[in-house]
């Protein structure tokens, strides 16, 4: 079955506070986005890799690819004014009509290969596969009048990416008008009346958002290198 991955890197990363967007920041010697592309390529070199970037960043990315001699095949698509629009543009950039697509935050470079494989397998069976992890902390629900109420954490999950779908279904889902409740691709899919399927994610698959996240990312990279040398 044809497979694609849409890596969404359309944001400016203002919370990171760096001179460039977070997808281009160096991590263990090369931009974050390159690490993410490599994970998907290592899972299956035949996956069609689509990178969604601000069109104004195309030249910068080309320079980074050349300077790092980055050889993973991929092509770039211009992002939109929102994540919804960027994903829709990325889906339009896929060359085939029937198959599977994993939609992934480009600044989540620590997704495990087995999670990606499981997402494609589950989506092939049931139409979708959303990576999630269980909560460790207690949670409380806040109300508008300032009160809070205990919630059973066993009934909640933290949502990650990849979020993987049968291509025809997710393309149809993204043909609608963008709505405020579309916080991720799963909510767009659910808007069609379809139930999403959940799969276990990996806890270290964090979205790099703040400077503290980048420090933790360097630590994780160090651990990974240590495992490879032992």
CA 147, distance to chain mean position in Å, is: 34
The C-alpha R_g of the chain, in whole angstroms, comes to 18
Q: What is the pLDDT of residues 146-168, one digit of tens each?
A: 999 999 999 999 999 999 999 99
Cα distances from 33 to residues 96, 143, 176, 223, in angstroms, run 24, 38, 29, 19
Written in H, E and C, the secondary structure of 85-150 is: HHHHHHHHCCCCCCCEEEEEECCCCCCCHHHHHHHHHHHHHHCEEEEEEECCCCEEEECCCCCEEE
pTM score, whole prediction = 0.94
Q: Domain 3-132+158-229 adopts which CATH fold?
A: Spore Coat Polysaccharide Biosynthesis Protein SpsA; Chain A (3.90.550)
Work out the mean pLDDT of the chain and round it to a whole number. Answer: 94
Q: What is the pLDDT of residues 167-194, one digit of tens each?
A: 999 999 999 999 999 999 999 999 999 9
Domain ranges of the chain: 3-132+158-229
**Helices 32-43 and 113-126: crossing angle, nearest 10°?**
60
């Amino acid at each position: 079955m044809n497979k694609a991955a849409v890596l969404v890197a359309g944001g400016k990363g203002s919370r990171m506070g760096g001179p460039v967007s977070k997808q281009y920041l160096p991590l263990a010697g090369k931009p974050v986005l390159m690490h993410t592309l490599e994970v998907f390529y290592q899972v299956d070199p035949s996956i069609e890799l689509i990178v969604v970037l601000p069109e104004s960043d195309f030249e910068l990315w080309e320079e980074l690819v050349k300077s790092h001699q980055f050889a993973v095949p991929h092509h770039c698509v211009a992002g939109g004014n929102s994540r919804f629009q960027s994903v829709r543009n990325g889906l339009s950039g896929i060359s085939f009509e029937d198959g599977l697509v994993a939609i992934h935050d480009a600044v989540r470079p620590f997704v495990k290969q087995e999670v990606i494989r499981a997402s494609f397998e589950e989506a092939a069976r049931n139409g979708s596969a959303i990576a999630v992890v269980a909560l460790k902390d207690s949670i409380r629900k806040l109300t508008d009048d300032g009160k809070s109420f205990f919630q059973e954490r066993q009934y909640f999950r933290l949502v990650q990416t990849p979020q993987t779908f049968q291509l025809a279904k997710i393309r149809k889902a993204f043909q609608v008008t963008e709505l405020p409740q579309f916080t991720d691709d799963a909510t767009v899919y659910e808007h069609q009346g379809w139930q999403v399927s959940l799969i276990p994610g990996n806890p270290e698959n964090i979205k790099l958002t703040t400077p503290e996240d980048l420090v933790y990312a360097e630590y994780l990279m160090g651990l990974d290198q240590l495992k490879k040398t032992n």
